[in-house]
Structure 1
Amino acid sequence: MMNEKIDTLVIGAGQAGIAMSEHLSSYNIPHIVLERDRIAEKWRTGRWDSLVANGPAWHDRFPGLEFNDVPQDSFVKKESVADYFVEYAKKYNAPIREGVKVIKVERNTSTSGFIIETSSGVIEAKRVVSATGAFQTPIIPAIAPKDKNLHQIHSADYKNPKQLPDGAVLVVGAGSSGVQIADELMNSGKKVFLSTGPHDRPPRSYRDRDFCWWLGVLGKWNMAAMEPGTEHVTIAVSGAKGGKTIDFRELANEGMTLVGRTKSFNNGKITFENDLLQNLKNGDDNYLSLLDEADTYITDNHLDLPEEPNARNVFPDAECIKNPIQEIDLVQENITSIIWATGFSSDYSWLKINAVDENDRPLHHRGVTPEAGFYFLGLPWLSRRGSSFIWGVWHDAKYLADQIEIQRQYMNYHHSSE
């Protein structure tokens, strides 16, 4: 049986793969997109039930299609985001094959390009784009206690409060996922402890403009790399409840118990780093610095945007902030569940080529790897800060399609004998 042959193979039919297909089609580059599940499956089943997009509908979309029947300043439900990508794929006739898993990618030693082993057969491709994204393997740290009496799950497996047993909950990680889950659990009536590490917390909106707008006009979406020392700083932002600025002091005043980074578990007790106050201060500084930059921008550009002095109001410190907790007894506090909102790692064990380093981290510059013809798409900071957002991945895909077309033109060159 002959292997199927194609110019370009795209792996993954989430937002990255669909964007890639659109731009390849614009160059009339023959390609197929393989998806092991359904289109945009992570949006449907890979997150909690109440998740909405973190950016407003006018911003978190591709240029070629708006969200239907929703206010453009609203935050779209996850199922509607998935439906949007299905509709977008149809709009551009994306050649997507669902239910096909890629098992291995290796160099074609008999000619140029790659051999791709899949669950439905072998494909030969001159070029391959990995659009599998960054949220692949949930990370639960090695410090997690081996306690069968504790219900422990990763945030990727959390759906709603009803799946947890009675009792209090420790949520480890205060990025967007952790803080939204912690807030939902508290509102359901559970006692919640939130382990809070280094974070940025931009205003959801300020002076009648969403923070996505502010990051745009201030040029922050186009930052090419993280500032030194911020590699482990998460961002706490949410579109839940119609969009509201995350304020950890406010959450503490509402009854959530804030603690520092989780340090260890020993003999039924949890210890925490003595860093809560510093983490909160750094988050506040980040928040206030954006307000300052926004005010300056408004003045410099003579914009008529309403004043918002209340944005600088500070909630009083709750007891857990005045006297940070260093240790908790699980039994005494009746903590029966731990949710690890501690991020993801990548799994590129299926790649048998020179595209990742010894720690399984992608080797690339703006998605172009040292392995000629192989590309990454959909990774955070692929080319800039906005790369992992819906609109950002669309622009990264355009760049990669440009590079692929350039290489095709080189390969089509024929020396003139004249």
Structure 2
Amino acid sequence: MTEQKRKPEKLTGVKGMNDILPQDAALWDFFETTVKSMLRSYGYQNIRTPIVEHTQLFTRGIGEVTDIVEKEMYSFTDALNGENLTMRPENTAAVVRASIEHNMLYDGPKRLWYIGPMFRHERPQRGRYRQFHQVGVEALGFAGPDADAEIILMCQRLWDDLGLTGIKLEINSLGLAEERAAHRVELIKYLEQHVDLLDEDGKRRLYTNPLRVLDTKNPALQDMADKAPKLIDFLGEASLAHFEGLQRILKSNNIPFKINPRLVRGLDYYNLTVFEWVTDKLGAQGTVAAGGRYDPLIEQLGGKPTAACGWAMGIERILELLKEENLVPEAEGCDVYVVHQGDAAREQAFIVSERLRDTGLDVILHCSADGQSASFKSQMKRADASGAAFAVVLGEDEVAQGVAGVKALRGNAAEARSEQQTVAFEDLTEYLINAMVASAEDGED
């Protein structure tokens, strides 16, 4: 008795690293097109950094006692040369590294933006995944509060361009290093008096990163955190002036905000301005964009002391908001779907399709799913399902006569010309372009 052949085990994706399927393409395209247009309007230039960097870049840049470095990074040792490498958990450190390495600031400040996947090993939940996507900006070489204000205004413009509402701005100032040091002493004294209230996470951070204790989401610690010494009370004249300058610009541009003294952010490189854009429509994952000023980072990574600020936003969270507010765009169909039957018609269909594409039209050429020629009826069903505006029909008779059938499939054109039209090959491109222009004008009426 022959042994039955075992069916290969079905393979699945890694948990928290999701496929982006064709049915979601229109939403991603809408967001990416909108955000790139906004970034261009502010004079920002695109930069693309590798997904993998030396681990030291993140331990030095982000901070060794942050959650990202302690618990979330995908790090490994390169088997070929023994280098310690990490899949980027965020991109600010990488952009700064690239700016230093390539002397990008030699000829003055830079406005940069990036988009792409990041990686953190955390519990997957709505809008937060282990491979997620961010778009972000970095304004390098700008020291004043005007740069802080500009990057915040950019976010507001993006919300308006996307049609999103109800995203609220919270701001704070972390001051300068010496001011944070003075506050840290008093904060540790205060937390030591309430050590019995602290959860395990709070006790772990008590001496390594006490500011992060104030950012706790534990309901039992909220009252204690609210009554803790506030960093803003330790700010000196220059830090206060910077913070007040930011507020004046925001107010003059009618940007509402709330000062949140417990807003500290989770990365060590921040100073002075920090901010978050938050919503109550995504459950616990309420932050959709965040950033601030990180003046120490460029020197910390080996460059000359240079002021800098920026933000990043999780694309998946923004897309969830677009779905929540029913702002999902309809997928656009192609312009023309070419159906054909017979060997001569198939060859002519390729020629027709390429000539139409030469003029800028989007064309789908029917191909058989099973190697057999499908009926015209079956092909027309595919043409209609594709969302195409027009079907071009080629059979043996049409090829022999040097003509193509054209049938409108959408809108007023389809109602006005339900019957198939016959068009000579040499006139086909002009006919279709004129028909599409006329159809578009009818749609605007």
For the criterion TM > 0.5, the same-fold answer is: no
Question: Greater CA radius of gyration, 1 or 2?
Answer: 2
TM-score under structure 1 normalisation?
A: 0.21
TM-score under structure 2 normalisation?
A: 0.20
| RCO comparison, higher one (Cα < 8 Å, 6+) | 1
